Amino acid sequence: MSIRLRFAPSPTGRIHVGNVRTALMNWLFAVREGGQVLLRIDDTDIARSTKEFEQSIVDDLAWLGLPWSERANQSHRFDVYDRAADKLKAAGLVYPCYETEDELDRKRKIAQATNKPPIYDRAALKLTDADRAKLEAEGRRAHWRFKLSGARKDWVDLVRGPQSIDTGSLSDPVLIREDGAFLYTLPSVVDDIDFKITHIVRGEDHVTNSGVQIEIFEALGGDVPAFGHFPLLVGADGNALSKRIGSLGVGELAAEGYEPMTILSHLAKIGTSDPVEARTSLEQLASEFAFEKIGRAPARFDPEELKRVNAALLHQYEYSAVKDRLAKLDADKGEAFWNAVRANLVLFPDVKAWVQIVEGPIAPVVTDAAFAQAAAEVLPSGAYDATTWPAFTNAVKEKTGAKGKALFMPLRQALTGMDHGPEMAALFPLIGEERARKRLLGQSA
């Protein structure tokens, strides 16, 4: 049977690098195994969820190149969750509680202060029908908790190995809020059962959840899927991801000019035993994916490394693959141009700077006017090709006696206004005789 995974973002914000990593892990495993990924929009919180955010998630996934096989909204399935809740209530596994948030907060603080575990004391379990009637008469509305068994729940985690969660040391999870809204837990399990999810792959912030969710799977009579919990991201300094980096959205990265495959390559490789290198396709990343390669220590998300990966990826791109994108930037100056400058790009939009340098106008950097003047005097006429540059530099060398860096650097500076850049032999024909002459003479061109 083919595997089925799911990515379940909440449309209460744009997706950021952490979300993308979660999504990617699911996709990599699914693609490698020829399985499917369901996009499940966890919009049970009607107040905070918006269609705009939902659309942005869809757009961002599409931009990244992560295709889903099915899409579902939890907000369309409340009746299904109601039935599941009724079933659990009938079984006595879900019980009404009447504490206010303030009261619970106080209980937690007292427990903490007296060095006791801050878990729910199950006071509501002792309520009689009369007690409940009285509370309801006072205007209190119940929220509903799932009664944990208190047993240990074990599973073999795809990345962490054997796991054991003692549900006796946990609070009974609230499944339904006082206002009737479903929290994340129940709909998630119900959907995983209904959509026949075989593997749940998510961050290690969910390992405890998995213990309680296994109990709910069992209570509902569903098959318990396999679980895999990978370590979370930390910043380049090893500390928790800063708010700025952690909330870095796909949209922002796209706007800055990062390639989708850069983001995917980086997020797929950090924290694994593979070298952090650019890959050009999701399929290739998937073929290299293995849970065994994922380390147990948090993965470092370093924006500098992301740049490096982006540069390496750009350097591989053939002209045909980027022609359309170049045109959009008004930077399609032909294959020779692309091949000349691509090795000097970090971000794709950097290409515009090289268009400017080739076509001008730029202000040349002339530090030795006499030398530049002499060079201008031996500037070749007519059509330029790959042989023009060596011919020209040899002529300058003969005329001035300059060689090595003293020969090439002033020419580069005068002709490009920069002290670094692509191979001059490739760039020179693109600049051409007219602009070259003016620049050597110190004129903007």
Residues numbered 252 to 271 that lie near RNA (CB under 7 A) are 270-271
Q: Map the footprint of RNA across residues 222-241, applying CB under 7 A.
A: 231-232, 234, 238-240
Q: With binding defined as CB under 7 A, does residue 387 bind RNA?
A: no
Q: With binding defined as CB under 7 A, does residue 243 bind RNA?
A: no
Q: With binding defined as CB under 7 A, does residue 89 bind RNA?
A: no
Reduced 3-state DSSP string for the chain: CCCEEEECCCCCCCCEHHHHHHHHHHHHHHHHHCCEEEEEECCCCCCCCCHHHHHHHHHHHHHHCCCCCEEEEHHHCHHHHHHHHHHHHHCCCEEEECCCHHHHHHHHHHHHHCCCCCCCCCHHHHCCHHHHHHHHHCCCCCEEEECCCCCEEEEEECCCEEEEEEHHHCCCCEEECCCCCECCHHHHHHHHHHCCCCEEEEEHHHHHHHHHHHHHHHHCCCCCCEEEEECCEEECCCCECCHHHHCCEHHHHHHHCCCHHHHHHHHHHCCECCCCCCCCCHHHHHHHCCHHHECCCCEEECHHHHHHHHHHHHHHCCHHHHHHHHHHCCCCCCHHHHHHHHHHCCCHHHHHHHHHHHHCCCCCCCCCHHHHHHHHHCCCCCCCCCCHHHHHHHHHHHHHCCCCHHHHHHHHHHHHCCCCCCCHHHHHHHHHHHHHHHHHCCCCC
Interface with RNA: number of residues (CB under 7 A) = 82
Residue nearer to RNA on the CB measure, 27 or 120: 120
Q: With binding defined as CB under 7 A, does residue 169 bind RNA?
A: yes
Q: Map the footprint of RNA across residues 324-353, applying CB under 7 A.
A: 343-344
Q: With binding defined as CB under 7 A, does residue 208 bind RNA?
A: yes
Q: With binding defined as CB under 7 A, does residue 437 bind RNA?
A: no
Q: How far is the CB of 3 from RNA (least distance, A)?
A: 22
Q: How far is the CB of 169 from RNA (least distance, A)?
A: 6
Q: Map the footprint of RNA across residues 90-149, applying CB under 7 A.
A: 97-101, 104, 108, 112, 115, 117-120, 143
Residue nearer to RNA on the CB measure, 318 or 419: 419
CB under 7 A: which stretch of 24-32, 126-134, 175-183, 371-379 binds RNA? 175-183
CB under 7 A: which stretch of 54-62, 295-303, 353-361, 366-374 binds RNA? 295-303
Residue nearer to RNA on the CB measure, 177 or 438: 177
Q: With binding defined as CB under 7 A, does residue 247 bind RNA?
A: no
Q: How far is the CB of 348 from RNA (least distance, A)?
A: 15
